[in-house]
């Protein structure tokens, strides 16, 4: 049985597969409430769609769910965002929830460490968002926020505060760290900095209430005094000059040092210094006891000149110079007072001379500029409203810009905007660029990628600052999403084409109407178009791990950005209306593509097929909309992501309350489309009430009919039908209704039995001139599921010359076309029917496998034939004989009759049944022993019993030739001739002569 196990296992697997397939529910149909949702008071937002194309679980004919990305992803200082949902004539709105503070504040620490000499920690705060100025009410009502800064070390806390001031929206907190916090520990300690917005009326008070503070960073507490920053300049290969790195104020003194490298061997050195007016050399002192210093000064009309002579007084034996340069001379200089009108940069010229110096280097002079300012500027701070930028320039061709404002902070805490021209540079121009005036960073569309942590440097008067930006760039190609990639002609639905100006000259109105009917063109399906894209940022370290906005499972809908650059490659096949709706024109294959506004590159493409095949509108699914309810849910784990669910109210609760209908078209090819997709002028949507005491319909042929409640009741009370325009159904046999159905309506306050059962077929009005017995199939509606609507739609575009030539045969082929259009559309298959079909298929598969198994079984045993006797003459094959008869002795005598055998020819010989005797088995061998006779029961009504004896003869052994024994045979009653013939055929008696001989012997013995 091993060979038969495979088919049984296959049968079991097929049964399990069929059971699992029948237990799965079909995916939800892509229907939704076509309500418009719009975000207000948001600088930038995008609709999101899941990358796997999965529909939201709460989307249905009565509800719609949309997910939005709000940018910037942190709250701005403007009014709270608002989401508005509308489906005429109903609308509702709701404020977007936010868990963040009202004011968006950015903190910029100016000091990373403090010391006992300079124990003040300074932090600059400024407001985010371009609209914070609009939040300022009249003075005294709601002032700008107050920010509180606190430093905490162990259990000790100190606080400082400031109020944000206009026009820059900034303030500075100077927090003095107590002296007891500085401990002479081997390693410096640190304090934690946090900040928050103080409550109204509590700014500057010791017990001010602060919102949950936000972490800012750690502040290092150093015990050693701070060392002034210095800049090192090389005068030549052996002499160095060290000068202060920073701006100086009028009246301030500073020190410049001269240092010698270890390879300096001269005993004499002369330093010449020429200072421009406003600077002077005050004194010079030696930095090494082995050297003496002499200073000579002279003043000219525009310059101060100083000559310093340095001599080595003695050699220090036994000592070696350090590898680092040692300071030889300290030169004190001063900035004169009363220099307000002079230039801020004042040059100092340095020249050094000593024996053994290179003659070329002796002529070189170093010019070092001293920056002088009336203000003691310590820190340069670039202010921006956003550090995150969405690069949509490759899609729109419009640059995206982030303004930059540079401010300086003075020693006394004064903050002012930089008035001098700064310098700036972007670390990666392939991601982000900076303007020449350093007042903005931007992306222009030529950038190749996005990135995280792109650095932009700024500098002014030896003050440096930098910003780190995150730039998100679209991942190309774009994903072009079509609701249906194959558009087909809608059966029975035609649109009027443009007529020429000669139509006004036609005198016969009948001929004019007939001509206009012939000019109608077929209506093709329509589908919605969406353009989607991932926005990604590359890591700065060159890795391949991309960051996605807001995550890899989301795609951003950029349809509103690229709709102006989208087009159909062949406008004769299809057209793109409003950048969002594809309309089929004539059969063919084309593609929808998006062109780059900056080049001829294709940003995204999708193939579209317009087919000659026809589909029918099988049903209209309608839902009653009596109101809208809106719910907003922030997406956990994704800041700035919001999900909005709009639910339609389907029940009317009072008399004279009005409602409208939302209608979807269901086609025979399984696609669905909202009625809004087909405009409002190309068909007629009719709505009637089956029970005027419950509800009446106002505007029965309008695009959005109004349903008015009259009394309590419920049921499929609204009958709907979709019809083509009258001008395009002039034929007598043309179908009057494209689809029909009913919509469920419920008016609270009681129950009434509807005139027609909601499960019964819904009648529909018949077209004028329709023949008797002509039927149009109407879809059946269940509660909240089905319905039909009536509206006028107007065709777009004129028919081409080829279409006009095809329409010339309109009158001749009208009857054939009308018969074709009257073919009943296939009904929808229910879930139960699908399950039954699957089960039937499994049973058929099981039967097929069983038959295959039987065939294999038969073939297996038919192939086991006895070997050929002629191949081994010494060992003849045994035979199974069936003897029939009534007398054992007579049969034995017949078998004993030996007839001469013909000469044996080489090769296999045919077996003989009657005319030839078979070889006798050896009596003494076990195989020659005959089996016990198997007896048959007596035949009813017969005087003699029929018996059958099966005798097996063993093959003859080669070494000896014993006499042939007589088999022990019991005679039985001979049956009919047909039975005997059947037995002989099984024994291999095919020759007629052999068969006749055998039959005669049997008859003679009986």
Q: Record the pTM.
A: 0.67
Rounded to an integer, what distance in angstroms lies between the CA atom of residue 378 and that of residue 229?
A: 12
Rounded to an integer, what distance in angstroms lies between the CA atom of residue 976 and that of residue 727?
A: 86
Rounded to an integer, what distance in angstroms lies between the CA atom of residue 988 and that of residue 801?
A: 81
* Per-residue model confidence as pLDDT tens digits over 242-299: 988 777 778 888 899 999 888 888 889 999 999 887 788 889 999 888 899 999 998 8
- Give the residue from 646, 531, 659, 678 showing the smallest Cα distance to 37: 646
* pLDDT at 648 (0 to 100): 95
Rounded to an integer, what distance in angstroms lies between the CA atom of residue 130 and that of residue 72?
A: 11
Q: What is the mean pLDDT of the chain?
A: 75
Cα–Cα separations (whole angstroms), residue 830 to 744, 833, 835, 836, 849: 20, 5, 9, 10, 29
Asked whether 495 and 584 are in contact (CB, 8 A), the reply is: no
Q: Is 818 helix (H, G, I), strand (E, B) or coil?
A: helix
* Per-residue model confidence as pLDDT tens digits over 644-703: 999 999 999 989 999 999 999 999 999 999 998 987 778 888 899 999 999 999 875 566
Rounded to an integer, what distance in angstroms lies between the CA atom of residue 367 and that of residue 348?
A: 6
Rounded to an integer, what distance in angstroms lies between the CA atom of residue 674 and that of residue 687?
A: 17
Rounded to an integer, what distance in angstroms lies between the CA atom of residue 93 and that of residue 38?
A: 9
Asked whether 681 and 794 are in contact (CB, 8 A), the reply is: yes
Q: Which two tokens stand for residue 733?
A: 């046999």
Rounded to an integer, what distance in angstroms lies between the CA atom of residue 95 and that of residue 310?
A: 79
Rounded to an integer, what distance in angstroms lies between the CA atom of residue 116 and that of residue 222?
A: 8
Max Cα–Cα distance, the chain, nearest Å: 167
Give 320's pLDDT tier (boundaries 50, 70, 90): very low
Asked whether 127 and 107 are in contact (CB, 8 A), the reply is: no
The sign one gets for the Cα dihedral 432, 435, 436, 438 is negative
Rounded to an integer, what distance in angstroms lies between the CA atom of residue 159 and that of residue 33?
A: 55
| Residues paired with residue 301 on neighbouring β-strands, in sequence order | none
Task: Return the HEC string of 560-623.
Answer: HHHHHHEEECCCCCEEEECCCEEEECCCEEEEEEEECCCCCCEEEEEEEEEEEEEECEEEEEEE
Contacts of 60 (CB under 8 A, 6+ apart): 28, 31, 32, 33
- Give the residue from 458, 375, 465 showing the smallest Cα distance to 416: 375
Rounded to an integer, what distance in angstroms lies between the CA atom of residue 158 and that of residue 123?
A: 14
Give 340's pLDDT tier (boundaries 50, 70, 90): low
- Pairwise pLDDT comparison (100 vs 109), residue with the higher score: 109
DSSP state for residue 224 in the 8-state scheme: S
Q: Which two tokens stand for residue 701?
A: 């042929």
Cα–Cα separations (whole angstroms), residue 851 to 8, 17, 94, 843, 854: 12, 20, 67, 13, 5
- Pairwise pLDDT comparison (608 vs 916), residue with the higher score: 608
- Phi–psi pair at 695, nearest 5 degrees: -155, 150
Contacts of 337 (CB under 8 A, 6+ apart): 250, 251
* Per-residue model confidence as pLDDT tens digits over 806-847: 443 444 444 444 444 443 444 556 778 888 999 999 999 999
pLDDT at 801 over 80: no
* pLDDT at 868 (0 to 100): 52
Task: Return the HEC string of 156-199.
Answer: EEEEEEEECECCCCEEEEEEECCHHHCCCCCCCEEEEEEEEEEC
DSSP 767-790: PTTPPTT---------TTT-----
Task: Return the HEC string of 803-814.
Answer: HHHHHCCCCCCH
Rg of the Cα atoms in the chain: 52
Asked whether 373 and 461 are in contact (CB, 8 A), the reply is: yes
Give 457's pLDDT tier (boundaries 50, 70, 90): very high
Rounded to an integer, what distance in angstroms lies between the CA atom of residue 745 and that of residue 614?
A: 33
CA within 13 Å, CB half, 721: 20
Asked whether 930 and 968 are in contact (CB, 8 A), the reply is: yes
* pLDDT at 813 (0 to 100): 44
Task: Give the mean pLDDT of 108-118.
Answer: 88
Rounded to an integer, what distance in angstroms lies between the CA atom of residue 685 and that of residue 737?
A: 10
Rounded to an integer, what distance in angstroms lies between the CA atom of residue 500 and that of residue 511?
A: 15
pLDDT at 6 over 80: no
Task: Give the mean pLDDT of 476-504.
Answer: 79
Contacts of 706 (CB under 8 A, 6+ apart): 658, 659, 660, 697, 698, 699
* Per-residue model confidence as pLDDT tens digits over 507-541: 444 455 555 556 788 999 999 999 999 999 999 87
Report CA dihedral (921, 925, 926, 928) to the nearest 10 degrees. Answer: 10
């Amino acid at each position: 049985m091993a060979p038969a196990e495979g088919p049984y296992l296959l049968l079991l697997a097929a049964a399990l597969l069929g059971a699992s397939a029948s237990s799965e529910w079909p995916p939800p149909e892509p229907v939704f409430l076509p309500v418009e949702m719009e975000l207000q008071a948001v600088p930038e937002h995008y609709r999101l769609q899941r990358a796997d194309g999965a529909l939201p679980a709460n989307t249905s004919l009565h509800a719609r769910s949309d997910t939005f990305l709000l940018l910037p992803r942190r709250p701005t200082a403007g009014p709270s965002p608002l989401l508005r949902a509308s489906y005429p004539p109903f609308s509702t709105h709701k404020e977007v929830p936010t868990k963040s503070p009202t004011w968006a504040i950015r903190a910029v620490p100016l000091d990373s460490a403090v010391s006992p000499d300079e124990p003040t920690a300074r932090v600059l705060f400024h407001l985010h968002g371009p609209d914070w100025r609009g939040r300022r009410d009249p003075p005294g009502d709601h002032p700008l926020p107050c920010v509180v800064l606190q430093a905490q070390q162990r259990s000790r806390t100190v606080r400082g505060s400031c109020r944000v001031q206009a026009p820059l929206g900034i303030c500075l907190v100077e927090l003095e760290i107590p002296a007891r916090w500085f401990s002479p520990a081997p390693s410096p300690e640190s304090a934690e900095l946090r900040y928050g917005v103080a409550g109204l009326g509590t700014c500057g008070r010791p017990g001010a209430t602060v919102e949950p503070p936000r972490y800012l960073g750690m502040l290092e507490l150093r015990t050693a005094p701070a060392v002034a920053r210095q800049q090192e300049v090389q005068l030549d290969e052996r002499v160095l000059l060290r000068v202060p790195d920073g701006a100086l104020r009028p009246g301030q003194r500073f020190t410049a040092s001269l240092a010698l490298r270890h390879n300096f061997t001269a005993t004499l050195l002369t330093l010449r210094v020429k200072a421009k007016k406003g600077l002077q050399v005050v004194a010079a002192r030696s930095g090494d006891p082995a050297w003496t210093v002499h200073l000579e000064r002279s003043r000219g009309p525009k310059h101060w000149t100083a000559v310093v002579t340095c001599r080595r007084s003695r050699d220090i034996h036994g000592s070696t110079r350090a590898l680092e340069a040692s300071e030889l001379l300290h030169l004190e200089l001063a900035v004169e007072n009363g220099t307000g009108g002079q230039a801020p940069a004042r040059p100092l010229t340095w020249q050094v001379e000593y024996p053994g110096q290179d003659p070329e280097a002796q002529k070189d002079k170093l010019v070092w500029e001293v920056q002088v300012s009336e203000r003691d500027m310590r820190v340069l701070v670039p202010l921006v409203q956003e550090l995150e930028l969405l690069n949509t320039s490759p899609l729109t061709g419009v640059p995206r810009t982030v303004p930059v404002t540079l401010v300086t902070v003075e020693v006394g805490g004064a903050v002012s905007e930089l008035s001098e021209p700064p310098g700036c540079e972007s670390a990666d121009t392939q991601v982000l660029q900076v303007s020449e005036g350093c007042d903005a960073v931007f992306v222009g569309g030529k950038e190749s990628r996005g990135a995280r942590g792109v650095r932009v440097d700024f500098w002014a008067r030896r003050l440096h600052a930098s910003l780190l930006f995150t730039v998100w760039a679209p991942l190309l190609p774009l994903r072009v999403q079509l609701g249906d990639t194959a558009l087909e002609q809608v059966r029975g639905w035609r649109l009027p084409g443009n007529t020429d100006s000669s139509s006004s000259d036609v005198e016969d109105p009948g001929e004019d109407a007939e001509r206009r009917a012939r000019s109608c063109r077929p209506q093709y399906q329509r589908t919605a178009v969406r353009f989607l894209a991932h926005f990604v940022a590359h890591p700065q370290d060159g890795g391949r791990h991309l960051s996605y906005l807001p995550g890899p499972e989301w795609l951003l809908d950029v349809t509103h950005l690229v709709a102006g650059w989208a087009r159909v490659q062949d406008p004769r096949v299809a057209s793109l209306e409003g950048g969002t709706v594809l309309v089929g024109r004539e059969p063919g294959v084309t593609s929808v593509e998006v062109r780059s506004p900056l080049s001829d590159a294709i940003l995204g493409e999708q193939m579209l097929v317009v087919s000659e095949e026809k589909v029918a509108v099988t049903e209209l699914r309608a839902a009653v909309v009596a109101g809208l309810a809106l719910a907003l849910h922030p997406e956990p784990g994704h800041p700035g992501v919001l999900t909005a669910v709009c639910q339609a109210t389907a029940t009317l609760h009072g008399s004279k309350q009005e409602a409208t209908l939302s209608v979807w078209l269901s086609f025979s090819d399984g696609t669905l489309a909202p009625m809004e997709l087909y405009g409002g002028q190309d068909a007629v949507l009719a709505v009637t009430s089956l029970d005027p005491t419950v509800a009446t319909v106002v505007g029965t042929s309008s695009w959005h009919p109004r349903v008015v409640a009259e009394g309590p009741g419920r049921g499929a009370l609204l009958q709907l039908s979709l019809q083509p325009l009258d001008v395009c159904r002039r034929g007598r046999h043309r179908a009057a209704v494209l689809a029909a159905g009913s919509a469920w309506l419920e008016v609270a306050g009681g129950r009434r039995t509807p005139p027609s059962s909601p499960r019964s077929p819904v009648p529909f009005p018949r077209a004028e001139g329709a023949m008797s017995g002509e039927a149009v199939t109407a879809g059946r509606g269940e509660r909240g599921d089905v319905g039909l609507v009536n509206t006028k739609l107007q065709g777009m575009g004129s028919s081409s010359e080829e279409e006009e030539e095809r329409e010339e045969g309109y009158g001749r082929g009208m009857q054939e076309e009308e018969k074709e259009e009257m073919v009943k559309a296939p009904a929808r298959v229910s879930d139960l029917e699908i399950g039954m079909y699957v089960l039937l298929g499994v049973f058929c598969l099981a039967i097929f496998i069983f038959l295959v198994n039987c065939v294999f079984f038969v073939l297996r045993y038919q192939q086991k034939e006895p070997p050929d006797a002629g191949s081994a003459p010494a060992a003849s094959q045994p035979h199974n004989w069936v003897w029939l008869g009534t007398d054992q002795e007579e049969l034995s005598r017949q078998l004993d009759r030996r007839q001469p055998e013909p000469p044996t020819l080489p090769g296999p010989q045919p077996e003989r049944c009657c005319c030839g005797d078979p070889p006798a088995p050896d009596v003494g061998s076990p195989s020659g022993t005959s089996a016990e006779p198997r007896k048959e029961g007596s035949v009813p009504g017969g005087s003699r019993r029929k018996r059958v004896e099966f005798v097996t003869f063993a093959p003859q052994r080669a070494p000896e030739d014993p006499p042939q024994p007589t088999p022990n045979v019991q005679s039985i009653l001979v049956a009919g001739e047909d039975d005997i013939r059947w037995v002989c055929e099984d024994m291999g008696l095919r020759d007629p002569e052999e068969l006749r001989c055998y039959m005669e012997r049997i008859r003679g013995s009986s």
